[in-house]
Chain A
Protein backbone atom coordinates (compact mmCIF):
# COMPACT_ATOMS: atom_id res chain seq x y z
CA UNK A 1 0.00 0.00 0.00
CA UNK A 2 1.26 3.42 -0.93
CA UNK A 3 2.10 5.88 1.80
CA UNK A 4 1.14 9.28 0.39
CA UNK A 5 3.31 12.28 1.19
CA UNK A 6 4.10 15.78 0.00
CA UNK A 7 7.64 16.88 -0.75
CA UNK A 8 8.52 20.44 -1.69
CA UNK A 9 11.82 20.87 -3.47
CA UNK A 10 12.71 24.30 -2.11
CA UNK A 11 15.41 24.77 -4.71
CA UNK A 12 12.78 24.67 -7.46
CA UNK A 13 9.90 26.60 -5.90
CA UNK A 14 9.55 30.02 -7.52
CA UNK A 15 6.79 31.24 -5.18
CA UNK A 16 4.22 31.54 -7.97
CA UNK A 17 1.46 30.55 -5.53
CA UNK A 18 -0.28 28.55 -8.25
CA UNK A 19 -0.59 25.59 -5.85
CA UNK A 20 -2.44 27.84 -3.40
CA UNK A 21 -4.76 29.12 -6.10
CA UNK A 22 -5.36 25.69 -7.59
CA UNK A 23 -6.27 24.31 -4.18
CA UNK A 24 -8.69 27.13 -3.45
CA UNK A 25 -10.35 26.71 -6.82
CA UNK A 26 -10.50 22.94 -6.87
CA UNK A 27 -12.18 22.70 -3.48
CA UNK A 28 -13.98 26.05 -3.47
CA UNK A 29 -12.29 26.81 -0.18
CA UNK A 30 -14.00 29.72 1.58
CA UNK A 31 -12.44 33.14 1.91
CA UNK A 32 -9.96 33.32 4.75
CA UNK A 33 -9.10 29.63 4.74
CA UNK A 34 -5.80 28.54 3.27
CA UNK A 35 -5.27 24.83 3.02
CA UNK A 36 -1.94 25.46 1.34
CA UNK A 37 0.44 28.39 1.54
CA UNK A 38 3.85 29.33 0.26
CA UNK A 39 6.32 30.56 2.88
CA UNK A 40 9.45 32.39 1.81
CA UNK A 41 12.33 32.29 4.26
CA UNK A 42 15.36 34.56 4.21
CA UNK A 43 13.37 36.77 1.86
CA UNK A 44 15.64 38.99 -0.22
CA UNK A 45 18.77 37.57 1.34
CA UNK A 46 21.27 35.03 0.08
CA UNK A 47 19.89 31.55 0.50
CA UNK A 48 16.28 32.65 0.05
CA UNK A 49 13.95 29.67 -0.28
CA UNK A 50 10.25 29.31 -0.85
CA UNK A 51 8.42 26.27 0.40
CA UNK A 52 4.86 25.30 -0.31
CA UNK A 53 3.33 23.96 2.87
CA UNK A 54 0.06 22.28 3.76
CA UNK A 55 -1.00 19.39 5.96
CA UNK A 56 1.86 16.88 5.79
CA UNK A 57 -0.37 13.93 6.71
CA UNK A 58 1.96 13.04 9.55
CA UNK A 59 2.77 9.63 10.88
CA UNK A 60 1.29 9.51 14.40
CA UNK A 61 -0.49 12.77 13.61
CA UNK A 62 -0.41 15.30 16.49
CA UNK A 63 -3.82 16.70 15.54
CA UNK A 64 -5.40 13.28 15.90
CA UNK A 65 -3.67 12.67 19.22
CA UNK A 66 -4.93 15.84 20.89
CA UNK A 67 -8.45 15.89 19.40
CA UNK A 68 -10.86 15.61 22.36
CA UNK A 69 -13.59 14.05 20.21
CA UNK A 70 -11.34 11.76 18.12
CA UNK A 71 -12.57 13.13 14.79
CA UNK A 72 -9.40 12.29 12.81
CA UNK A 73 -8.58 9.10 10.98
CA UNK A 74 -5.78 7.90 8.74
CA UNK A 75 -6.69 6.24 5.45
CA UNK A 76 -4.98 3.14 4.07
CA UNK A 77 -2.90 5.52 1.93
CA UNK A 78 -1.57 7.30 5.01
CA UNK A 79 -3.73 10.37 4.41
CA UNK A 80 -4.95 12.10 7.59
CA UNK A 81 -8.59 13.12 7.27
CA UNK A 82 -11.20 14.35 9.72
CA UNK A 83 -14.95 14.47 10.14
CA UNK A 84 -16.53 17.91 10.21
CA UNK A 85 -19.64 16.35 11.70
CA UNK A 86 -17.67 15.37 14.79
CA UNK A 87 -15.33 18.38 15.08
CA UNK A 88 -16.31 20.77 17.89
CA UNK A 89 -13.93 23.53 16.83
CA UNK A 90 -11.89 23.57 20.03
CA UNK A 91 -8.71 24.58 18.21
CA UNK A 92 -6.34 22.17 19.95
CA UNK A 93 -5.21 20.66 16.66
CA UNK A 94 -3.87 24.07 15.63
CA UNK A 95 -1.61 24.12 18.70
CA UNK A 96 -0.41 20.59 18.06
CA UNK A 97 0.10 20.84 14.29
CA UNK A 98 3.76 21.49 13.44
CA UNK A 99 2.76 22.89 10.04
CA UNK A 100 -0.09 25.30 10.81
CA UNK A 101 -2.46 23.22 8.70
CA UNK A 102 -5.77 23.44 10.61
CA UNK A 103 -7.87 26.41 9.56
CA UNK A 104 -11.04 27.77 11.13
CA UNK A 105 -13.81 29.66 9.38
CA UNK A 106 -14.35 32.13 12.24
CA UNK A 107 -12.21 34.24 14.49
CA UNK A 108 -12.52 32.19 17.59
CA UNK A 109 -13.86 34.43 20.34
CA UNK A 110 -16.06 32.55 22.82
CA UNK A 111 -14.99 29.30 21.22
CA UNK A 112 -16.87 30.01 18.00
CA UNK A 113 -14.20 28.91 15.58
CA UNK A 114 -16.52 26.71 13.54
CA UNK A 115 -15.58 23.37 12.03
CA UNK A 116 -11.89 22.92 11.31
CA UNK A 117 -10.82 22.76 7.68
CA UNK A 118 -7.54 21.49 6.30
CA UNK A 119 -5.85 19.92 3.32
CA UNK A 120 -7.43 16.56 2.49
CA UNK A 121 -4.72 15.46 0.08
CA UNK A 122 -7.59 15.82 -2.41
CA UNK A 123 -9.12 12.77 -0.75
CA UNK A 124 -12.41 14.16 0.57
CA UNK A 125 -13.77 13.03 3.91
CA UNK A 126 -15.73 10.28 5.63
CA UNK A 127 -18.75 10.66 3.34
CA UNK A 128 -19.16 8.34 0.34
CA UNK A 129 -16.58 9.11 -2.35
CA UNK A 130 -17.33 11.86 -4.88
CA UNK A 131 -20.75 12.77 -3.49
CA UNK A 132 -22.15 16.28 -3.20
CA UNK A 133 -22.19 15.97 0.58
CA UNK A 134 -18.49 15.18 0.56
CA UNK A 135 -17.72 17.99 -1.88
CA UNK A 136 -19.61 20.59 0.15
CA UNK A 137 -17.63 19.83 3.31
CA UNK A 138 -14.22 18.76 2.08
CA UNK A 139 -13.92 19.58 -1.60
CA UNK A 140 -13.28 17.24 -4.48
CA UNK A 141 -11.99 13.71 -4.09
CA UNK A 142 -9.33 13.36 -6.76
CA UNK A 143 -7.72 10.37 -5.09
CA UNK A 144 -10.92 8.38 -5.58
CA UNK A 145 -10.69 9.23 -9.30
CA UNK A 146 -7.14 7.92 -9.43
CA UNK A 147 -5.59 11.38 -9.55
CA UNK A 148 -3.02 12.97 -7.28
CA UNK A 149 -3.48 16.29 -5.42
CA UNK A 150 -3.98 19.15 -7.85
CA UNK A 151 -1.43 21.46 -6.20
CA UNK A 152 1.39 19.06 -7.05
CA UNK A 153 -0.05 17.94 -10.36
CA UNK A 154 -0.01 21.43 -11.82
CA UNK A 155 3.20 22.73 -10.22
CA UNK A 156 4.99 24.39 -13.11
CA UNK A 157 8.52 23.68 -11.88
CA UNK A 158 7.62 20.28 -10.45
CA UNK A 159 8.86 21.57 -7.13
CA UNK A 160 5.90 20.21 -5.21
CA UNK A 161 5.77 16.45 -5.41
CA UNK A 162 2.90 14.29 -4.23
CA UNK A 163 2.62 10.55 -4.28
CA UNK A 164 4.01 7.50 -2.59
CA UNK A 165 6.63 8.63 -0.11
CA UNK A 166 9.31 6.21 -1.25
CA UNK A 167 8.91 7.19 -4.90
CA UNK A 168 8.95 10.96 -4.42
CA UNK A 169 11.91 10.63 -2.04
CA UNK A 170 13.67 8.70 -4.77
CA UNK A 171 12.88 11.38 -7.36
CA UNK A 172 14.15 14.07 -5.04
CA UNK A 173 17.31 12.13 -4.22
CA UNK A 174 18.08 11.73 -7.93
CA UNK A 175 17.60 15.46 -8.49
CA UNK A 176 19.89 16.36 -5.63
CA UNK A 177 22.51 13.93 -6.83
CA UNK A 178 22.42 15.33 -10.35
CA UNK A 179 22.57 19.00 -9.45
CA UNK A 180 24.80 18.58 -6.43
CA UNK A 181 22.77 20.39 -3.79
CA UNK A 182 19.46 20.28 -2.02
CA UNK A 183 18.02 21.83 1.10
CA UNK A 184 16.26 18.70 2.24
CA UNK A 185 12.72 17.43 2.41
CA UNK A 186 11.11 20.19 4.41
CA UNK A 187 9.07 18.99 7.33
CA UNK A 188 9.76 15.30 6.85
CA UNK A 189 11.76 14.97 10.04
CA UNK A 190 8.93 16.40 12.11
CA UNK A 191 6.10 14.82 10.15
CA UNK A 192 7.33 11.27 9.69
CA UNK A 193 10.11 10.91 12.29
CA UNK A 194 12.06 7.83 11.39
CA UNK A 195 9.13 6.03 9.87
CA UNK A 196 8.90 6.82 6.18
CA UNK A 197 6.69 3.95 5.10
CA UNK A 198 3.04 3.47 5.93
Chain B
Protein backbone atom coordinates (compact mmCIF):
# COMPACT_ATOMS: atom_id res chain seq x y z
CA UNK B 1 0.00 0.00 0.00
CA UNK B 2 2.81 2.36 0.94
CA UNK B 3 4.50 1.45 -2.29
CA UNK B 4 1.36 2.25 -4.23
CA UNK B 5 1.02 5.65 -2.57
CA UNK B 6 4.69 6.31 -3.26
CA UNK B 7 4.13 5.43 -6.86
CA UNK B 8 1.14 7.73 -7.09
CA UNK B 9 3.09 10.58 -5.54
CA UNK B 10 6.00 9.77 -7.77
CA UNK B 11 3.89 9.73 -10.88
CA UNK B 12 2.35 13.05 -9.88
CA UNK B 13 5.69 14.68 -9.20
CA UNK B 14 7.20 13.43 -12.44
CA UNK B 15 4.23 14.63 -14.42
CA UNK B 16 4.53 18.00 -12.78
CA UNK B 17 8.24 18.41 -13.07
CA UNK B 18 9.37 16.65 -16.20
CA UNK B 19 6.63 18.11 -18.32
CA UNK B 20 7.73 21.53 -17.22
CA UNK B 21 4.48 22.09 -15.38
CA UNK B 22 3.02 23.79 -18.34
CA UNK B 23 0.14 21.39 -18.65
CA UNK B 24 -0.18 19.76 -15.27
CA UNK B 25 -2.25 21.09 -12.42
CA UNK B 26 -0.26 22.97 -9.82
CA UNK B 27 0.12 21.33 -6.38
CA UNK B 28 -1.91 22.26 -3.34
CA UNK B 29 -0.92 25.88 -2.62
CA UNK B 30 -1.52 27.05 -6.14
CA UNK B 31 -5.11 27.66 -7.07
CA UNK B 32 -5.09 28.11 -10.81
CA UNK B 33 -3.62 26.17 -13.65
CA UNK B 34 -0.39 27.53 -15.01
CA UNK B 35 -0.81 28.00 -18.71
CA UNK B 36 2.19 27.90 -20.98
CA UNK B 37 3.15 31.51 -21.13
CA UNK B 38 3.06 32.71 -24.72
CA UNK B 39 5.70 35.31 -23.95
CA UNK B 40 8.09 32.83 -22.41
CA UNK B 41 11.32 32.25 -24.30
CA UNK B 42 11.73 29.07 -26.31
CA UNK B 43 11.76 26.44 -23.66
CA UNK B 44 14.77 24.21 -23.37
CA UNK B 45 13.01 21.55 -21.38
CA UNK B 46 14.75 18.32 -20.60
CA UNK B 47 12.23 16.12 -22.37
CA UNK B 48 12.21 18.35 -25.44
CA UNK B 49 15.98 18.29 -25.65
CA UNK B 50 16.10 14.53 -25.26
CA UNK B 51 13.73 14.20 -28.17
CA UNK B 52 15.65 16.71 -30.22
CA UNK B 53 19.15 15.45 -29.47
CA UNK B 54 18.13 11.80 -29.18
CA UNK B 55 20.10 11.06 -26.10
CA UNK B 56 22.90 13.17 -24.72
CA UNK B 57 22.19 16.70 -23.67
CA UNK B 58 25.27 18.51 -24.83
CA UNK B 59 26.29 22.02 -23.87
CA UNK B 60 29.32 24.08 -23.03
CA UNK B 61 31.32 24.32 -19.84
CA UNK B 62 34.24 26.42 -18.69
CA UNK B 63 36.10 23.25 -17.71
CA UNK B 64 38.78 22.16 -20.22
CA UNK B 65 37.32 18.68 -20.43
CA UNK B 66 34.99 18.12 -23.37
CA UNK B 67 33.23 15.24 -21.62
CA UNK B 68 32.02 17.52 -18.86
CA UNK B 69 29.87 19.36 -21.41
CA UNK B 70 27.51 16.40 -21.57
CA UNK B 71 24.82 17.33 -19.11
CA UNK B 72 22.92 14.05 -19.09
CA UNK B 73 23.52 10.76 -20.88
CA UNK B 74 20.43 8.71 -20.13
CA UNK B 75 21.90 5.62 -21.77
CA UNK B 76 23.93 5.19 -18.59
CA UNK B 77 20.79 3.51 -17.30
CA UNK B 78 20.96 1.06 -20.22
CA UNK B 79 24.59 0.32 -19.37
CA UNK B 80 23.50 -0.32 -15.80
CA UNK B 81 20.81 -2.74 -16.94
CA UNK B 82 23.19 -4.51 -19.29
CA UNK B 83 25.83 -4.91 -16.62
CA UNK B 84 23.51 -6.03 -13.88
CA UNK B 85 21.20 -8.28 -15.86
CA UNK B 86 22.08 -9.06 -19.48
CA UNK B 87 25.78 -9.77 -19.00
CA UNK B 88 25.26 -11.86 -15.87
CA UNK B 89 22.65 -14.04 -17.55
CA UNK B 90 24.59 -14.55 -20.78
CA UNK B 91 27.84 -15.16 -18.93
CA UNK B 92 26.28 -17.39 -16.32
CA UNK B 93 24.53 -19.54 -18.90
CA UNK B 94 27.59 -19.73 -21.19
CA UNK B 95 30.25 -20.49 -18.60
CA UNK B 96 28.13 -22.34 -16.05
CA UNK B 97 26.26 -24.23 -18.74
CA UNK B 98 29.48 -25.35 -20.38
CA UNK B 99 30.83 -26.62 -17.07
CA UNK B 100 27.65 -28.62 -16.50
CA UNK B 101 27.74 -30.03 -20.02
CA UNK B 102 31.37 -31.08 -19.64
CA UNK B 103 30.74 -32.79 -16.30
CA UNK B 104 27.77 -34.66 -17.76
CA UNK B 105 29.80 -35.55 -20.85
CA UNK B 106 32.70 -36.88 -18.81
CA UNK B 107 30.33 -38.87 -16.61
CA UNK B 108 28.58 -40.52 -19.57
CA UNK B 109 31.23 -40.78 -22.27
CA UNK B 110 34.33 -40.85 -20.10
CA UNK B 111 37.80 -40.40 -21.46
CA UNK B 112 38.08 -40.98 -25.20
CA UNK B 113 40.76 -43.64 -25.61
CA UNK B 114 43.06 -44.34 -28.52
CA UNK B 115 41.06 -47.11 -30.17
CA UNK B 116 44.07 -49.09 -31.30
CA UNK B 117 45.95 -48.38 -28.10
CA UNK B 118 49.17 -46.40 -27.90
CA UNK B 119 51.73 -47.54 -30.42
CA UNK B 120 54.74 -46.30 -28.52
CA UNK B 121 55.92 -44.53 -31.64
CA UNK B 122 55.52 -40.79 -31.89
CA UNK B 123 55.25 -38.19 -34.61
CA UNK B 124 56.02 -34.51 -34.22
CA UNK B 125 52.84 -32.46 -34.23
CA UNK B 126 53.82 -29.03 -32.91
CA UNK B 127 57.31 -27.57 -32.91
CA UNK B 128 58.72 -25.26 -30.26
CA UNK B 129 57.51 -22.01 -31.76
CA UNK B 130 54.00 -23.39 -32.15
CA UNK B 131 53.91 -24.56 -28.58
CA UNK B 132 55.32 -21.25 -27.38
CA UNK B 133 52.55 -19.39 -29.21
CA UNK B 134 49.95 -21.71 -27.74
CA UNK B 135 51.15 -21.56 -24.17
CA UNK B 136 51.78 -17.84 -24.00
CA UNK B 137 48.19 -17.39 -25.13
CA UNK B 138 46.83 -20.13 -22.91
CA UNK B 139 48.61 -19.14 -19.71
CA UNK B 140 47.72 -15.47 -20.03
CA UNK B 141 44.16 -16.32 -21.05
CA UNK B 142 43.63 -18.33 -17.89
CA UNK B 143 44.73 -15.40 -15.71
CA UNK B 144 42.84 -12.90 -17.84
CA UNK B 145 39.77 -15.11 -17.67
CA UNK B 146 39.86 -15.55 -13.91
CA UNK B 147 40.47 -11.86 -13.22
CA UNK B 148 37.82 -10.92 -15.77
CA UNK B 149 35.28 -13.30 -14.28
CA UNK B 150 36.15 -11.71 -10.96
CA UNK B 151 35.09 -8.32 -12.30
CA UNK B 152 31.85 -9.79 -13.66
CA UNK B 153 30.87 -12.22 -10.93
CA UNK B 154 33.27 -11.67 -8.00
CA UNK B 155 30.88 -9.29 -6.31
CA UNK B 156 28.26 -12.02 -6.07
CA UNK B 157 30.48 -15.05 -5.58
CA UNK B 158 33.68 -13.98 -3.82
CA UNK B 159 32.88 -10.76 -1.98
CA UNK B 160 30.57 -12.42 0.58
CA UNK B 161 33.26 -15.00 1.35
CA UNK B 162 36.35 -12.79 1.33
CA UNK B 163 34.98 -9.64 2.88
CA UNK B 164 35.22 -6.16 1.33
CA UNK B 165 38.86 -5.29 2.13
CA UNK B 166 40.38 -8.60 1.00
CA UNK B 167 38.19 -8.62 -2.09
CA UNK B 168 39.31 -5.12 -3.04
CA UNK B 169 42.98 -6.05 -2.59
CA UNK B 170 42.54 -9.15 -4.73
CA UNK B 171 40.55 -7.26 -7.36
CA UNK B 172 43.12 -4.47 -7.46
CA UNK B 173 45.90 -6.95 -8.20
CA UNK B 174 43.63 -8.74 -10.59
CA UNK B 175 43.03 -5.54 -12.48
CA UNK B 176 46.75 -4.82 -12.78
CA UNK B 177 47.40 -8.37 -13.99
CA UNK B 178 44.49 -8.12 -16.41
CA UNK B 179 45.82 -4.90 -17.90
CA UNK B 180 49.42 -5.95 -18.36
CA UNK B 181 48.91 -9.56 -19.42
CA UNK B 182 46.81 -8.28 -22.30
CA UNK B 183 50.04 -7.59 -24.19
CA UNK B 184 51.51 -11.13 -24.18
CA UNK B 185 48.01 -12.48 -24.85
CA UNK B 186 47.68 -10.32 -27.94
CA UNK B 187 51.14 -11.37 -29.07
CA UNK B 188 50.19 -15.02 -28.67
CA UNK B 189 47.01 -14.63 -30.69
CA UNK B 190 48.88 -12.87 -33.47
CA UNK B 191 51.58 -15.57 -33.49
CA UNK B 192 49.01 -18.34 -33.72
CA UNK B 193 47.23 -16.51 -36.51
CA UNK B 194 50.42 -16.29 -38.55
CA UNK B 195 51.58 -19.83 -37.83
CA UNK B 196 48.34 -21.76 -38.24
CA UNK B 197 46.15 -19.86 -40.63
CA UNK B 198 47.34 -21.96 -43.60
CA UNK B 199 46.13 -25.14 -41.86
CA UNK B 200 42.82 -23.64 -40.80
CA UNK B 201 41.18 -22.70 -44.06
CA UNK B 202 37.75 -24.37 -43.98
CA UNK B 203 37.33 -27.16 -46.52
CA UNK B 204 34.87 -29.82 -47.60
CA UNK B 205 36.48 -32.35 -45.29
CA UNK B 206 35.31 -30.25 -42.34
CA UNK B 207 31.70 -30.60 -43.43
CA UNK B 208 32.06 -34.36 -43.55
CA UNK B 209 33.83 -34.27 -40.21
CA UNK B 210 30.98 -32.41 -38.58
CA UNK B 211 28.38 -34.54 -40.34
CA UNK B 212 29.78 -37.68 -38.72
CA UNK B 213 29.73 -36.10 -35.31
CA UNK B 214 33.38 -35.16 -35.09
CA UNK B 215 35.73 -36.51 -32.49
CA UNK B 216 33.86 -35.47 -29.40
CA UNK B 217 30.32 -36.68 -29.97
CA UNK B 218 30.70 -39.26 -32.69
CA UNK B 219 32.43 -42.57 -32.22
CA UNK B 220 33.86 -42.88 -35.70
CA UNK B 221 37.08 -41.24 -36.78
CA UNK B 222 36.33 -39.13 -39.83
CA UNK B 223 39.42 -38.23 -41.85
CA UNK B 224 41.00 -34.89 -41.12
CA UNK B 225 44.05 -32.96 -42.14
CA UNK B 226 46.32 -31.24 -39.65
CA UNK B 227 43.33 -29.60 -37.96
CA UNK B 228 39.86 -31.10 -37.95
CA UNK B 229 36.64 -29.12 -38.12
CA UNK B 230 36.36 -28.71 -34.37
CA UNK B 231 39.91 -27.46 -34.06
CA UNK B 232 39.33 -25.00 -36.86
CA UNK B 233 36.34 -23.66 -34.96
CA UNK B 234 38.55 -23.22 -31.91
CA UNK B 235 41.22 -21.52 -34.00
CA UNK B 236 38.84 -19.01 -35.52
CA UNK B 237 37.07 -18.44 -32.22
CA UNK B 238 40.40 -17.63 -30.59
CA UNK B 239 41.72 -15.51 -33.44
CA UNK B 240 38.52 -13.56 -34.09
CA UNK B 241 37.18 -13.59 -30.52
CA UNK B 242 40.60 -13.00 -28.98
CA UNK B 243 41.26 -10.27 -31.50
CA UNK B 244 37.96 -8.57 -30.67
CA UNK B 245 38.70 -8.89 -26.96
CA UNK B 246 42.14 -7.38 -27.47
CA UNK B 247 40.80 -4.45 -29.50
CA UNK B 248 37.97 -3.67 -27.08
CA UNK B 249 40.30 -4.20 -24.15
CA UNK B 250 42.86 -1.72 -25.41
CA UNK B 251 40.04 0.75 -26.01
CA UNK B 252 39.07 0.32 -22.37
CA UNK B 253 42.66 0.64 -21.18
CA UNK B 254 43.07 3.96 -22.92
CA UNK B 255 39.66 5.49 -22.21
CA UNK B 256 38.43 8.12 -24.64
CA UNK B 257 41.64 8.05 -26.67
CA UNK B 258 40.97 5.57 -29.48
CA UNK B 259 37.23 5.94 -29.04
CA UNK B 260 36.16 9.39 -28.00
CA UNK B 261 32.45 9.04 -27.36
CA UNK B 262 30.62 7.76 -24.32
CA UNK B 263 28.53 5.46 -26.52
CA UNK B 264 31.68 3.98 -28.01
CA UNK B 265 33.26 3.36 -24.61
CA UNK B 266 30.09 1.73 -23.31
CA UNK B 267 29.83 -0.46 -26.39
CA UNK B 268 33.48 -1.51 -26.13
CA UNK B 269 33.00 -2.45 -22.48
CA UNK B 270 29.84 -4.42 -23.24
CA UNK B 271 31.36 -6.26 -26.22
CA UNK B 272 34.48 -7.04 -24.22
CA UNK B 273 32.38 -8.68 -21.53
CA UNK B 274 30.09 -10.67 -23.79
CA UNK B 275 32.75 -11.93 -26.20
CA UNK B 276 35.08 -12.83 -23.35
CA UNK B 277 32.48 -14.84 -21.51
CA UNK B 278 31.51 -16.76 -24.64
CA UNK B 279 35.17 -17.41 -25.45
CA UNK B 280 35.79 -18.62 -21.91
CA UNK B 281 32.98 -21.14 -22.38
CA UNK B 282 34.46 -22.31 -25.70
CA UNK B 283 37.94 -22.59 -24.23
CA UNK B 284 36.63 -24.63 -21.30
CA UNK B 285 35.58 -27.28 -23.84
CA UNK B 286 38.99 -26.96 -25.53
CA UNK B 287 40.79 -27.46 -22.22
CA UNK B 288 38.61 -30.46 -21.45
CA UNK B 289 39.24 -32.30 -24.70
CA UNK B 290 42.93 -31.43 -24.59
CA UNK B 291 43.43 -32.82 -21.10
CA UNK B 292 41.19 -35.29 -19.27
CA UNK B 293 38.76 -35.70 -22.16
CA UNK B 294 40.97 -37.55 -24.60
CA UNK B 295 43.89 -39.92 -24.23
CA UNK B 296 47.02 -38.76 -26.03
CA UNK B 297 45.73 -35.31 -26.90
CA UNK B 298 47.74 -33.36 -24.36
CA UNK B 299 51.06 -34.61 -25.74
CA UNK B 300 50.51 -32.53 -28.87
CA UNK B 301 51.00 -29.37 -26.87
CA UNK B 302 52.99 -30.96 -24.05
CA UNK B 303 55.99 -32.62 -25.65
CA UNK B 304 54.90 -31.68 -29.15
CA UNK B 305 55.00 -35.32 -30.19
CA UNK B 306 51.88 -37.44 -30.43
CA UNK B 307 51.41 -41.15 -30.57
CA UNK B 308 51.24 -42.41 -34.13
CA UNK B 309 48.02 -44.32 -33.54
CA UNK B 310 46.39 -41.23 -32.06
CA UNK B 311 47.48 -39.23 -35.09
CA UNK B 312 46.17 -41.84 -37.51
CA UNK B 313 42.81 -41.94 -35.79
CA UNK B 314 42.26 -38.21 -35.50
CA UNK B 315 44.27 -36.71 -38.34
CA UNK B 316 44.61 -39.47 -40.92
CA UNK B 317 45.07 -37.16 -43.91
CA UNK B 318 47.71 -35.16 -42.07
CA UNK B 319 49.66 -38.33 -41.19
CA UNK B 320 49.55 -39.35 -44.85
CA UNK B 321 50.87 -35.95 -45.90
CA UNK B 322 53.70 -36.00 -43.39
CA UNK B 323 54.66 -39.56 -44.21
CA UNK B 324 54.73 -38.98 -47.93
CA UNK B 325 56.73 -35.78 -47.52
CA UNK B 326 59.18 -37.53 -45.29
CA UNK B 327 59.08 -34.63 -42.90
CA UNK B 328 58.54 -35.53 -39.30
CA UNK B 329 58.62 -39.25 -40.06
CA UNK B 330 57.88 -41.35 -37.02
CA UNK B 331 60.60 -40.82 -34.53
CA UNK B 332 61.12 -41.72 -30.94
CA UNK B 333 62.11 -39.36 -28.18
CA UNK B 334 65.77 -39.58 -27.15
CA UNK B 335 66.44 -42.68 -25.17
CA UNK B 336 63.29 -44.44 -26.29
CA UNK B 337 63.13 -47.51 -28.43
CA UNK B 338 63.72 -46.87 -32.08
CA UNK B 339 60.76 -47.21 -34.35
CA UNK B 340 60.67 -50.72 -35.69
CA UNK B 341 63.04 -52.00 -33.02
CA UNK B 342 60.18 -54.06 -31.62
Using a CB–CB distance below 8 Å, which chain A residues touch chain B?
10, 17, 34, 37-43, 46-49, 51, 53, 62, 65-71, 83, 85-92, 95-100, 108-111, 166, 169-170, 172-174, 176-190, 192-197
Contact = CB atoms under 8 A, between A and B. Distances in A.
A69 B34 contact: no
Chain A interface helix/strand/loop/mixed: loop
B26 A173 contact: yes
B331 interface: no
A49 B44 contact: yes
B9 interface: yes
Interface of B: 6-7, 9-11, 13-14, 16-22, 26-27, 29-30, 32, 34-37, 40-47, 49, 57-63, 65, 67-77, 79-80, 83-84, 150-152, 154-155, 159, 164-165, 167-168, 171-172, 175-176, 178-180, 252-257, 262, 265-266, 269
Contact of A90 (B11, B151, B257, B262): B151
26 contacts: A10-B44, A34-B68, A39-B57, A39-B59, A39-B61, A42-B44, A49-B44, A62-B80, A65-B83, A65-B84, A66-B83, A68-B155, A69-B159, A69-B168, A71-B168, A86-B168, A89-B175, A169-B17, A173-B16, A173-B26, A177-B30, A178-B30, A180-B36, A182-B20, A183-B46, A185-B18
A6 B9 CA distance: 18
A187 B46 contact: yes
B67 A188 contact: no
Given A38-B61, A111-B179, A174 B29 contact: yes
A182 to B, nearest CB: 5
Contacts of A192: 10, 14
Contacts of B73: 98-100
Given A95-B265, A166-B13, A196-B9, 15 more contacts: A39-B69, A43-B59, A69-B171, A70-B155, A88-B175, A89-B175, A98-B76, A111-B175, A111-B179, A177-B21, A179-B37, A184-B18, A186-B46, A187-B46, A193-B10
B17 A172 contact: yes
Contacts, number: 227
B61 A85 contact: no
A110 B181 CA distance: 11
Given A92-B269, A95-B266, A100-B68, A62 B175 contact: no
A181 B14 contact: no
Given A37-B68, A70-B164, A85-B168, A111 B176 contact: yes
Contacts of B266: 95
A190 B72 contact: yes
A180 B35 contact: yes
A14 to B, nearest CB: 13
A173 B17 contact: yes
Contact of B269 (A48, A71, A95, A166): A95
B14 A196 contact: yes
A109 B42 contact: no
Q: Which 10 A-B pairs have the closest CB atoms?
A: A47-B42, A62-B80, A41-B59, A181-B40, A180-B37, A98-B76, A185-B17, A39-B59, A177-B30, A194-B10
Interface hub of A87, A174, A186, A193 (most chain B Cβ within 10 A): A186
A184 B71 contact: no
A90 B309 CA distance: 50
Contacts of B16: 169, 173
Nearest to B57: A41
A169 B175 contact: no
